[in-house]
Structure 1
Amino acid sequence: MLIDASSVAASADEIRAGAVSGIIFDMDGTIIDSMPSHAQSWVAFVQNHGIDIDVPDLMRRTTGRTGAECMRELFARDMSDEEAWQHIAEKEQLYRELFAPIFTEVAGFKAFAAQTRARGLKVGVGTAGDRHNIAFAFGHLKLPTPPDAVAGGDEGLAGKPEPAIFLEVARRMAVPPERCIVFEDAPFGIEAARRAGMRAVAICTSHDAAQLAGPHVLAAARNYHELIESKFLERLHVEPA
C-alpha cells in the first residue's frame, strides 16, 4: 500500500489534471537502490583526503548536485572543472566498487518502467551522475529497451535544485515540461521538478514523504510495487508525444 493513503493515493481527477506524455526518472535512489553505497564511498573518500566532515550533512547539502558542485562544496573553495572531475572520478570509482557486488534496483522499477512504455509514455532519465555511473547502472539493469533520453551531471548542466537536467531530458524526448512527471527520491530533485514546471512522484528510499512534499507532488511510495498496486499509471491521462 502507499505510504499515506489520504495524501498519496490521489483521486483520479487530481492525477488526470493535465495530459502526460513523458516520465522522467532520477537515477540514484530512484531507479537503483544506491544511496547507502554512495554514503560509504563519501566516507572512504574524505578519509583518503584527511577531511573531517559530517558525511550525512554533506549528502543533505549535495544530493542531486553535479560532481563538480559536490567537490567545490566539500573542499569549500573554488576549483577548476578538471580538478573537480578528477576528485569525482576517484569518489565514484569507490562507489561502483562498493555497489557492484550488491547492485539492486529500487523494488519493482523494471516492471513499472515496462508498464510505463506499454501505456505509450516516453521514458527519460535525468541524473546528476556522470556518464560512467550511468553506464554502470544501465549495464547492470539490462533494460529490454533503453530510455528515450538521458541527461547527466557531466554535461555542463546546472545540478538540482536547478531545473536544467530535467528540462534537457524533456527537450530530448520532444515532450513539453508540463506533460512530464518526474520520479525523485531527494528534496533537491523534487524542487527541480517544480522549477521545471513538472509534476512529481516521491520515491521514499532515502527521505520520507513529508521531506518530499509539494503542491506538484502527486504521490509518494516506498517502491514501484506500491505504485503498481495503486494503479497509478492507469489513473493518468496519457497523451502520446
Structure 2
Amino acid sequence: MQALLSQPTKAIIFDMDGTMVDSMPHHTSTWLDFAQKHGVAMEIGELMRRTTGRTGLECVRLILDQPDMAESQAWALVHEKEQLYRDIFGPIFKEVAGFSAFHTATRARGLKVAVGTAGDIHNVEFALGHLQMNPPPDAIARGDEGLSGKPTPAIFLAAAQRIGIAPEHCIVFEDAPFGIEAARRAGMRAVAICTSNTPEELAGPHVIATVHNYEELLQSNFLETLHVP
C-alpha cells in the first residue's frame, strides 16, 4: 500500500453518480419504474448490480433483453428514464458529503481533475449545474460518446488521455464494483466511496482508501499522503 501511495499522483478522475452526487437511490427507483413499465420483473438489487456503471444504451438493451435494439430506439428510452430521474432528484439534489470541499482541496494541491461517467450529456450538465465546480473539470468522458461502459476501462482511459496524464498517475474515485474494476483494468489506483456498496464489494489490490464520503478523506488528510510532484 505504501508503494501505491508513494507513486506520483497528477490527476483525480471522479465517477459521477454515487461518487460526486448522492443520486443512486433515485437512479435505482427510476430504473425500477422503467423496468416495470416495460413489463420486466427483476429484483432491484440484481437490476442495479447488472446496470450500475454501464452506459444507458447498454442498460436498456440489457434490461429489455434486446441486445440488437437500434441505438436510436434505445437512446429514446434512456432519455425517457433519465428525464424522470432529473425531475425527481432535481428538487432534492445533494452532493456526496464533503465533495465540494474535497474538490477545492484537490485543486489547491495542483492536481488535474476529470470526470469519467457512464452518464449522458444531459445528466452531466444537470449534475455540474448544481455542483458549480470552480474551476470546472479539465475533461469529461461520458457514456454517450460511443465509449463502452464499465467494467471496461474505456471511459477512464479517455478521461486520462484528454487531460494528458498517464493512467498510472491517476486516481479514480468510484462507488460501484464495475467502476473499481474498470480502474484496475485501466492501470489506475482507486478510492472506494461506499455510498451504495460495502467495502468488501469495492475491494481490490489497487484500492488505496475506502471511505463513506469525502469528509472522512479530509479529516484523515488523505491528499497530504499522496506524492504530488
Q: TM-score, with normalisation over the residues of structure 1?
A: 0.92
Aligned to 2:120: 130
Which letter maps to 2:26? S
Which letter maps to 1:65? R
Which residue of 201, 205, 211 corresponds with 2:195? 205
Aligned to 2:166: 176
* Contact in 2 for aligned 1:43/1:55 (Cα 8 Å): yes
* Contact in 2 for aligned 1:15/1:236 (Cα 8 Å): no
Alignment of 1:52-131 (within 5 A): 52-77=41-66, 78-131=68-121
Q: CA RMSD in A?
A: 1.0
SS at match of 2:97: coil
Unaligned 5+ runs, structure 1 = 1-9
Identity, % of aligned pairs? 62
* Separation of aligned partners in 1, 2:5 and 2:27: 36
1:219 matches 2:209: yes
Aligned to 1:47: 36
* Contact in 2 for aligned 1:15/1:235 (Cα 8 Å): no
* Separation of aligned partners in 1, 2:5 and 2:31: 41
* Contact in 2 for aligned 1:187/1:212 (Cα 8 Å): yes
* Separation of aligned partners in 1, 2:205 and 2:4: 12
Which residue of 18, 22, 26 corresponds with 1:33? 22
* Contact in 1 for aligned 2:4/2:189 (Cα 8 Å): no
Note the C-alpha offset of 1:145: 1.1
* Contact in 1 for aligned 2:5/2:208 (Cα 8 Å): no
Q: TM-score, with normalisation over the residues of structure 2?
A: 0.97
Deviations along 1:118-146, whole A, 9 cap, x unmatched?
A: 00100000000000000000111112210
* Contact in 1 for aligned 2:172/2:191 (Cα 8 Å): yes
* Separation of aligned partners in 1, 2:194 and 2:21: 12
Which letter maps to 1:90? E
Note the C-alpha offset of 1:116: 0.4
Unaligned 5+ runs, structure 2 = none
Which letter maps to 1:57? E
Which residue of 165, 168, 185 corresponds with 2:155? 165
Deviations along 1:1-24, whole A, 9 cap, x unmatched?
A: xxxxxxxxx6xx345331000000
Higher mean C-alpha displacement, 141-150 vs 195-204: 141-150
